[in-house]
Amino acid sequence: MKPLDTDADPCVVGPFELLARLGEGGMGIAYVAHRIRLDGLSDELAAAYRLIESDDSAEDDESRLVVVKMIQPDLLDGEPQARERFGREIDAVRAVVGGRVPAVIAADPEAVDPWFAMDYIAGPSLQIMVKESGTFAVGPYAALGLALVDALRAIHGARLLHRDLKPRNVVLGPDGPVVLDFGLAVLSERQSSQALTRTGDRLGTRPYMPLEQLTDTKHVKEPADVYALGATLFFALTGRPPYPIVPLMTEPNWDGIDTAFMPLLAQILVPAPGRRPDLDAVETSLLALLAGADLTPDLAAEQLRALVAAAGLTPELPSGVLADRADPAVRELAQKAVDAGAAPDAPWAEGAAADLAVDDLGFYGIVDTDEMDRAAEVDDRADSPDAYPPTLVDPAPAQPVEPVPQPTPGDEAPPQPEPDNGPSPTSYRLAPPQPAKEPSPHAPQSPPPAAQNVASRLRKAYAHRGNL
């Protein structure tokens, strides 16, 4: 976890104040943040953010840490329906409810730099825990396995698949393991117009995926996630995946695995998906393993928590960061922006711009992803404790570049128009304050862009309802 770069990082994204960087990869960048409680946030803007209000009090909600993931916009802009499909995917992931998966709190796929926010889980990844502290004994191993079973039940119960379960995507939080990153989740009914993947795409992490996923990611089913669960448990015992590069038809190398763990792993790590146990059978085997060691699930979970606490690997917020409440100055600027009719991450809107000194403008500027280094995705064997995997979406095919006509000698080159990215309801790039224009009394008033986006989604949602 790193402090914000005040020359590049935004201060506010949607209704969230950013506190620190968590990680960056080829798909985007992730921050730890918390909600800014604002008065008068319009229903239209809240709908554009897909904002879910907390059941807690305002104070508790503001102290709740979240992760804001900003997706590189070029991953969604190269295909006409990509942003709409990304929005549907976020809404689908919201259906996953359980103690072993983080809740999605808000999202804005229509922003210039699209983003979504989810619960922050304070703890090391399983990858870092094993690499730094060593492999697991029976109790922590079984507690991990039971938590992964619960997480996959919640995901599959919402008719989703994860398809990238691995040690990097398991965080050992204060309440036990939590499964992250549904960037590769896909609706299990496999409607081609709904899913974010295409036949032939190979998404996921090869050392932890089954053979059928290596062949065709789109058509895998629940046994693929069960295999990944087994591969993750294999890592917890050995510090390595079952296969170093890709899954094979032969058995994995069982060196270093005690015979007590063999029956379950040998059933899961097989090439044929139909031969793998289901989640109920995995749970039964883990409970039997605990009974043989004279342990209960509660004792095993406590052993895992104690192991994680003793390791001291939980990332810490940078010193000086206000983790419990929003910065009063930031809250005031965001509130003034809302009062002026703008989104809260536009503090230079009318009524707030006067409070910004020139030196502050860079601090409130949004990340310019066109100028950011396009970091390659980190190899799974070179994980870092600060990594928080950005959501992976369907990359758009490269568009052909039109040649620029060259002027003939003696002619002046025609002026090239500036690119127009269009308006966005949130995550504005920095622009100098502009005086408000008086609307013409005869000019028709258009709804705000966010309202038009919400209305468009509602029209599409009801277009196929036969009872309307």
- What is the pTM for the complete model shown? 0.72
pLDDT of 76 over the 50 cut = yes
pLDDT band at 436 (very low <50, low <70, confident <90, very high): very low
In this predicted model, what pLDDT tens digit does every residue of 376-420 receive, in sequence order? 333 443 343 333 333 333 334 444 444 445 444 554 445 444 444
Fold category of 126-311 in CATH: Transferase(Phosphotransferase); domain 1 (1.10.510)
Least confident of 159-173, 281-295, 310-324: 310-324
**Nearest 5 degrees, angle CA 296-CA 123-CA 156?**
65
Q: What percent of the chain has pLDDT over 70?
A: 65
In this predicted model, what pLDDT tens digit does every residue of 374-383 receive, in sequence order? 333 334 433 4
The confidence score (pLDDT) of residue 261 equals 98
pLDDT of 458 over the 80 cut = no
First to last CA, the chain: 50
Highest mean pLDDT among 327-331, 354-358, 420-424: 327-331
Dist. CA 70–CA 23, nearest whole Å: 11
* Average pLDDT of the residues in 275-299: 98
Kindly report, as residue ranges, where domains of CATH 1.10.510.10 are found in the chain. Answer: 126-311
| Mean pLDDT of all residues belonging to the chain | 75
pLDDT band at 132 (very low <50, low <70, confident <90, very high): very high
Encoded tokens for 447: 């709804």
Alpha helix stretches (DSSP H) within 134-221: 138-157, 211-215
Q: What is the CATH number that goes with domain 2-121+316-382?
A: 3.30.200.20
Highest mean pLDDT among 67-71, 174-178, 352-356, 440-444: 174-178
The confidence score (pLDDT) of residue 327 equals 82
CA distances (Å), origin 450, targets 47, 453, 455, 457 = 8, 5, 9, 11
Q: What percent of the chain has pLDDT over 90?
A: 40
The confidence score (pLDDT) of residue 130 equals 98
Burial of 416 (0-12, 13-18, 19+ CB in 10 A): exposed
Kindly report, as residue ranges, where domains of CATH 3.30.200.20 are found in the chain. Answer: 2-121+316-382
Question: Residue 364 carries which side chain, given as an amino acid letter?
Answer: Y
pLDDT of 343 over the 50 cut = yes
pLDDT band at 365 (very low <50, low <70, confident <90, very high): very low
In this predicted model, what pLDDT tens digit does every residue of 209-259 receive, in sequence order? 999 999 887 789 999 999 999 999 999 999 999 999 999 999 999 999 999
The confidence score (pLDDT) of residue 453 equals 54
Which residue in 181, 163, 186, 71 sits closest to 126, CA to CA? 181
Tell me the residue ranges of DSSP E strands in 345-452.
Answer: none
Residue of 122 and 443 predicted with greater confidence: 122
* Average pLDDT of the residues in 110-131: 92
